[in-house]
Amino acid sequence: MSSRLFQNIIYQMKDVIDRELGVLDEAGLIIACSNDMKNGEQFEDLPDAVHENQEAVAYNGFTFKSIGKKNKTEHIVFVSGDDELAGKYCSLIAISIDNLKQYYDEKFDKGNFIKNVILDNILPGDIAIKAKELHLQLDAHRVVFLIRTYEGSDLYVHDTIQNLFPAKNKDFVFVIDDYNVVLVKEVKSNCESEDLEKIAKTIVDTLNTEALVKVYVGIGTVVSNIKDLAKSYKEAQVALEVGKVFDTENYIINYDNLGIGRLIYQLPTTLCELFLAEVFKKESIDALDEETMLTIKKFFENNLNVSETSRKLYVHRNTLVYRLDKIQKMTGMDLRTFDHAIIFKVAMMVKKYLDSNPIKI
C-alpha cells in the first residue's frame, strides 16, 4: 500500500491532534509523519511488547500500537507522549489506518481480479469462486470501455478517468499498457447504446480539456455475468480496430454499431482479394480517379438520389448521369441499381480494409 495514502490521513489528523504522530513499517521505519522531516528515519530498539501486544504501549516518550493480522505486525502507529490521552489517540489512529488499509487491499484485490478476468488470466471455473470471496456480484450488468491514445498514455489519464467514476466497488479503472486504459463500469439492466456513448463522450471531452490528450474509446457490449467481461473487452478492441479502418472521423466507436465493417474485419484477406477480383472484372478499383471516387461517395451519402447528389456536388444533373454511365462502362455496375450499389459499397470497404493491413486480435 502506498505511503502517500498514510501520509494524507496523518496530515488530516494533524489538524485535530496537537501532537506528533505517524506510521511505521514493521521494521520501525517512519513511512508517514506529521513532521515531514522525520520521514525515512528509524525508531531504534522498539520493545517486543509493541509487536506482541494489541494494546497501546508507551516507550521512550511515545505511545505505539501495532496493526496486523493473525498476530503479525504489518504497521505501527505512534503518537508523542506516554499519558492516557496519547493511548486513546493512538488507538483511534490505528483504527483509521487499519480500516484504510483493509479498504485499499480489498479494492486492489477486486481490481486485480477484474483485470485478470478481462485478460483471460483466470480459469473460468475459478471466476465465480473468487468473485464470491471478494463480495463481487456475479450477475451485475457491466460493460468494458477501452480508452486508447496513439501518442502514449500516462498515469494522469488513469487518474482522470478514476476521478470521473469514483464508485470504487462497482467501477474499475486500470492501465493495460502505455496506450490503453480500461474502464469496467456497472450499468443498469436497461442501459441503451446511447447511454454508453454519452459516458464515452464524457471521457473523451474530459481528457481533451483537462489532460490535453486526444483519445479514442471503444465500447464493448453490456454483459450480465462477470465471466463474460473478457468478451466485452475483446469487442471493445475490435471496435477500435474496425473504427480505425472504416470510421476514422469518430473518436467513439460502439461495437453494436459497427455493421458490415465488423463482418469484413472478420474475413480472411485471401477471401477479400477474391471478392474484389470477381467484382472488378473489367477495371481495378484503383483505376477510378479521385473525382470519380468523390462522386461515388456523395452518391452513396445521398441514398442513390441523383438530383440531391448533383446539388451537393454543384454539378448539373446530366453531368452526374454522365459520370455514373462512365462508372458503369468501367466496372460493369450501374450504381443507380440497388443490388449493384450495395456490392460496390461492400467492395469499397473491403479495399479500404485490405489497404489498412489491420492486425487481427
The DSSP line for 210-223 is: HS----EEEE---B
Q: Which CATH class is domain 3-106?
A: alpha beta
For residue 20, count CB atoms less than 10 angstroms from its CB and return exposed for 0-12, middle for 13-18, buried for 19 or more: middle
In this predicted structure, the answer to whether residue 358 has a pLDDT above a threshold of 60 is no
**pLDDT tens column, 86-107:** 999 999 999 988 888 777 766 6
Least confident of 42-46, 106-110, 171-175, 187-191: 106-110
Q: Indicate the residue type of 214.
A: K
**pTM assigned to the model:** 0.64
Which amino acid is it at 191? Answer: C
* Predicted pLDDT of residue 288: 83
What pLDDT score does 305 carry? Answer: 93
Residue 361 binned pLDDT confidence (cut-offs 50, 70, 90): very low
pLDDT at position 205 over 60: yes
CA distance readout (Å), 70 to 67, 93, 212, 215, 220 = 10, 20, 48, 46, 43
User: CA–CA separation, 109 vs 338, rounded Å?
Assistant: 55
pLDDT of the residue at 79: 95
Beta strands in the chain (DSSP E): 21-25, 30-33, 57-59, 62-69, 72-80, 142-148, 172-175, 180-186, 216-219, 252-254
* pLDDT above 80 for 353: yes
What integer is the mean pLDDT of 46-56?
83
Binned at pLDDT 50, 70 and 90, residue 150 comes out as confident
E strands of 188-286, at which residues?
Answer: 216-219, 252-254
- What integer best gives the mean pLDDT of the chain? 87
How far is 349 from 245, CA to CA, in rounded Å?
9
Cell matching residue 264 = 469484413
CB 67 within 8 A of CB 93: no
Task: Give strand pairing partners of 64.
Answer: 57, 78
Average pLDDT, integer, range 129-155? 85
Q: Is the pLDDT of residue 124 over 50?
A: yes
CA–CA dist 303, 290 (Å, integer)? 20
How confident is the model at residue 357, as a pLDDT?
64
Contact predicate 290/262, CB 8 Å? no
For 138-261, give the CATH class. alpha beta
Name which of 229, 236, 237 is nearest 110 in CA terms: 229
Residue with cell 451519402: 301
DSSP string, 37-104: GGTT-B--S--HHHHH-SS-EEETTEEEEEEEETTEEEEEEEEE--SHHHHHHHHHHHHHHHHHHHHH
- The domain locations on the chain are 3-106, 138-261, 267-356
- Give CA–CA dist 90/216, Å, rounded: 49
pLDDT confidence of 295, banded at 50, 70, 90? very high
Query: How large is the average pLDDT for residues 340-354?
Result: 90
Q: CATH assignment of 267-356? A: 1.10.10.2840
pLDDT tens-digit series, residues 239-288: 998 988 887 778 999 999 888 888 888 888 889 889 888 888 767 777 88
What is the crossing angle of helices 306-313 and 317-331, to 10°? 110
Cell of 73: 505486525
Which grid coordinates belong to 5? 495514502
In the prediction, which pLDDT does 141 show?
Answer: 95
d(CA 347, CA 345): 5
Residue 360 has pLDDT above 60, yes or no: no
Q: What is the pLDDT of residue 359?
A: 45
Query: Region 50-54: what's the mean pLDDT?
Result: 79
- Report the percent of the chain where pLDDT is more than 90: 46
Using CA atoms, how far apart are residues 76 and 65, in angstroms rounded to an integer? 6
